[in-house]
Amino acid sequence: MGSNLAYALITPHSISKSRTGNILSRLISRTGLELVSGAVFSPSRELAERYADLVEFGSNGSTPPTSRLIADYLREKFVTAPPAGTPRRRMLILVFRGEDAVSRMREVAGEVGLQKGGGETIRDTYGEYVTDTQGKVLFFEPALLIGKTDEEVREHLELWALFSDVDGGIQEDVGCYREDEAARVEKTLVLIKPDNFRFPNIRPGALIDVFSRTGLYIVGFKVHRMSVAQAEDFYGPVLPVLEEHFKTSHGPTVKEMVEDKFSIILQEEDGRAIAEVIGPIMGRRYWENLIKFMAGSRPSETKNVAAREAPGEQKSIALIYEGIDAVKKIRDVLGPTDPAKAPAGTIRREFGTTVMINAAHASDSAENARREMDLIGAEENQFLDFVTDYYGASRGRKRPGVVKKIRNLFH
């Protein structure tokens, strides 16, 4: 079969129990599919009801086995109001692409109501299906929701895309904070870096699982390919720091090499003059390599304006976390830039390789978090763009008209 799409909706229960990372690890590594889009939703009553109807009856009005169970689950979770004093219910939708995507997703997710308890599938491990002796369902938690056919996947994704400008995107004030805590509530950005996506593996999900130790809320999600222009702006403040660093670290070394090569003794001011020349050259070279690592091309090799602004070759996951002292909590779990100096148990110690290839980036202040989120377009509705691009192209429709029509329904 050819390439197609599959999706997984991680349920509010799975998110609240910090199972997001572990579920993502299995979805990526065991399906072998490419993660191409995603978004956080706080589904409205209307979205939940329409999705429940699609799940229960489908486009042909049939009611397959277990579909009513899932539909009732959705209505209970989102049509009824959540208990007072509990965080806002969120779901994370993840879109995958690849050959025979729907069948591979079903195999890894497992079937509803067939949990064996051995952990063979995601629902075996994280789902619950408890019945009494007469077979009445006492408790049901599916862990994630999926589409079972290509047509079902299309219908479901187009429905979620329809509501994505209203119910999706970066969520606000998810937690239940006391008045005295409100001033300390922050949002911060995490980028799961390209070295985690060289092949389908558990690393992206494993990193998210470690970040879950902070107790913060995931309120935004985006699959991002950073352009060269974005990477230059994103890492622009780093360039003078690198230039200054290499003046200090490489200046004395170069002075000694010159003295040894030409059998001369240089004065201290000569060494400083050499460092002034060498530092910016070495710093910019390292900076260009950093841009290539994040975007796929060096700025000096990308002169064309269109090429500089086009999505890069390298993939990252952008996550927005919210909570009290979010910036510090995330950076404490991440660890210092150099993995060799990172404490045991931190992400960079366990997953990092070098100062550049160090698993993830995290904003160092709430102000920088806002700046970096703006630079990568965290507020942009990439999920809507992707779904309308994919299915619009397959039907010969032009995306801008489709997007405009969808958005006009709500504005």
Q: Are 214 and 323 in contact (CB under 8 A)?
A: yes
The model carries a pTM of 0.90
Of 165, 186, 163, which Cα lies nearest the Cα of 174?
A: 186
Q: Could you read off the pLDDT of 372-402 as tens digits, one per residue?
A: 999 999 999 999 999 999 998 554 444 444 4
Whether the pLDDT of residue 58 is over 80: the answer is: no
Q: Which residues pair with 186 in a beta bridge?
A: 323
Whether the pLDDT of residue 96 is over 80: the answer is: yes
Mean pLDDT of the chain: 89
How far is C-alpha 274 from the geometric centre of its chain's CA atoms? 43
Domains and CATH numbers, the chain: 3-225+315-408 (3.30.70.141), 231-309 (no CATH)
H helix intervals, 182-335: 203-211, 228-234, 238-262, 268-295, 305-309, 326-334
Q: Are 96 and 31 in contact (CB under 8 A)?
A: yes
Cα atoms in the 13 Å half-sphere on the side-chain side of 209: 15
Report helix, strand or coil for 6: strand
Of 123, 168, 167, which Cα lies nearest the Cα of 145?
A: 123
Q: Could you read off the pLDDT of 27-55 as tens digits, one per residue?
A: 999 999 999 999 999 999 999 999 999 99
Whether the pLDDT of residue 410 is over 50: the answer is: no
3-class SS letters over 327-389: HHHHHHHHCCCCHHHCCCCCHHHHHCCCCCCCCEEECCCHHHHHHHHHHCCCCCCHHHHHHHH
Of 128, 118, 97, 276, which Cα lies nearest the Cα of 200?
A: 97
**Range from 5-14, 175-184, 203-212 carrying the lowest mean pLDDT:** 175-184
Q: Could you read off the pLDDT of 107-126 as tens digits, one per residue?
A: 999 988 765 666 799 999 99
Report helix, strand or coil for 34: strand
Look at residue 33 in the predicted model and tell me its pLDDT. Answer: 97
Distance, CA of 286 to CA of 292 (rounded, Å): 10
Whether the pLDDT of residue 220 is over 50: the answer is: yes
Amino acid (1-letter code) at residue 282? M
Average of pLDDT values for 267-283?
A: 82
Q: Are 192 and 204 in contact (CB under 8 A)?
A: yes
Distance, CA of 161 to CA of 51 (rounded, Å): 12
Reported confidence tier of residue 344, pLDDT bands at 50, 70, 90: very high
CA 212 vs CA 108, 153, 362: distances in Å: 23, 29, 14
Q: Are 145 and 127 in contact (CB under 8 A)?
A: no
Around Cβ 141, how many Cβ atoms within 10 Å? 16
Distance, CA of 81 to CA of 199 (rounded, Å): 41
Which phi and psi (to 5°) does residue 154 adopt?
Answer: -60, -50
Which phi and psi (to 5°) does residue 21 adopt?
Answer: -65, -45
**DSSP state for residue 192 in the 8-state scheme:** E
> Rg of the Cα trace of the chain?
24
